[in-house]
Amino acid sequence: AQSVTQLGSHVSVSEGALVLLRCNYSSSVPPYLFWYVQYPNQGLQLLLKYTSAATLVKGINGFEAEFKKSETSFHLTKPSAHMSDAAEYFCAVSNTGTASKLTFGTGTRLQVTL
Amino acid sequence: EPEVTQTPSHQVTQMGQEVILRCVPISNHLYFYWYRQILGQKVEFLVSFYNNEISEKSEIFDDQFSVERPDGSNFTLKIRSTKLEDSAMYFCASSGRDRRLSGANVLTFGAGSRLTVL
C-alpha cells in the first residue's frame, strides 16, 4: 500500500516569501512522486514529477521539490511567492509497478498575501 | 496544448437517477481514468481503462458505476442510481505512455464535473 501525507491543509505566505509545502510518502517499493496544482474551477495540472532520476526536480512556475529517501519526503518549494501561486496543491504517489494509479494527499491550500 | 475536456461542468440530479459524465481524452492517449473528490476530502482513484477494458478499479467503483468508450473518442462514467454520497467532483484523466515502457505515466486531468445529488 502507498500513501502520502500533506502537513498543513492551509498555508499562508506573503508575496515574495519562501513557499514550503510538505509531503511525506509511504511506499513499499521505490515510488514515483508528483505535485499537482489546482487553480479555482480548473483541473489538476502537473507541476513536477520524481521518477528515480535526479533527486532535485524542477517544475513549472519556479517550483521545485527534493526527494529525500531517508526522510520519506518530497517537499515542494518556491523561493519567492507570487500572487498567482494561490491555489490548491496536491502531492501524489504511484507505484512503479502500476504507474497509472495515483494516490493523492489531502491537499494544501496556498494563500499569498500582499 | 492538448487538453482533456469534460462535460457537464456541473450537474444536479435527484437521488436514484442515472447520470452520465462525459470526457474527451487527449487523442493519442492510451490510458483513461476517473477520479473523484468529495468536498473537503482527498482525490480518490475510481477506475483505469486500457484497450477497451477496465485495467484496475477501486473499492469505490461498485456495480453502480460503469465506464465505456463508445465511439473511440469519448470516455464516459455512468452512475446507475445515484446516492447522496455520490456528490463530488469527478475528474477524468488520460495518459499516453505505453505500459510496456518503464517510467511513470503522466496523467493529464480535465477540469472536472461537479455532481450534486439531492
- Kindly indicate the confidence band of residue A87, based on its pLDDT and cuts at 50, 70 and 90: very high
Q: Decide: A8 and A111 in contact? Cβ < 8 Å.
A: no
| Mean pLDDT for all residues in chain A | 90
Q: Decide: A23 and A73 in contact? Cβ < 8 Å.
A: yes
Query: CB A46 to CB B106 under 8 A?
Result: yes
| pLDDT tens-place string over residues A13-30 | 999 999 999 999 998 777
Query: CB B56 to CB A100 under 8 A?
Result: yes
Q: What is the pLDDT of residue A75?
A: 97
Q: Which amino acid is at A68?
A: K
Least-confidence region, from A9-13, A96-100, B17-21, B84-88: A96-100
Minimum-distance CB partner of A100 among B43, B95, B110? B95
Alpha carbon A113 to chain centroid distance?
20
- Kindly indicate the confidence band of residue A100, based on its pLDDT and cuts at 50, 70 and 90: low
Q: What is the pLDDT of residue A95?
A: 73
| pLDDT tens-place string over residues A48-70 | 988 877 889 999 999 999 999 99
Q: Report residue B22: phi and psi, to 5°.
A: -115, 150
Pick the residue from chain B with its C-alpha nearest to A6.
Answer: B42
Q: What is the pLDDT of residue B105?
A: 67
CA-CA-CA-CA dihedral for A62, A12, B91, B57, to nearest 10: 100
| Mean pLDDT for all residues in chain B | 89
Which are the contacts of B100, defined by CB distance < 8 A and separation ≥ 6? none
| pLDDT tens-place string over residues B34-57 | 999 998 888 999 999 988 899 889
The most distant pair of C-alpha atoms in chain A lies apart, rounded to whole Å, by 44
**DSSP code for A52:** S
Q: What is the pLDDT of residue A99?
A: 47
- Neighboring chain A residues of B55 at a CB cutoff of 8 Å: 100
- Distance, CA of B88 to CA of B46 (rounded, Å): 12
Residue % of chain A over a pLDDT of 90: 69
Q: What is the b/e burial string over B5-37, where b = at least 16 CB atoms within 10 angstroms of the residue's CB?
A: ebeeeebebeeeeebebbbbbbeebbbbbbbbb
Q: Average of pLDDT values for A97-108?
A: 78
Q: Which three cell numbers stand for residue B24?
A: 474527451
| pLDDT tens-place string over residues A76-85 | 999 999 999 9
Q: Is A41 on the interface with B (CB under 8 A)?
A: yes
Distances (CA, A) of A65 to A76, B18, B56: 5, 42, 29
Q: Average of pLDDT values for A81-106?
A: 84
How many Cα atoms sit within 13 Å of B11 on the Cβ side? Answer: 23
Q: What is the pLDDT of residue B101?
A: 47
| pLDDT tens-place string over residues B71-116 | 878 999 999 999 999 999 999 999 875 554 444 567 889 999 999 9
Tell me which residue of B90, B91, B64 sits closest to B78, measured CA to CA: B64
Closest-CA distance of chain B to residue A79, Å: 26
Q: Is A3 on the interface with B (CB under 8 A)?
A: no
Q: Average of pLDDT values for A82-98?
A: 86
Residue A40 has pLDDT above 90, yes or no: no
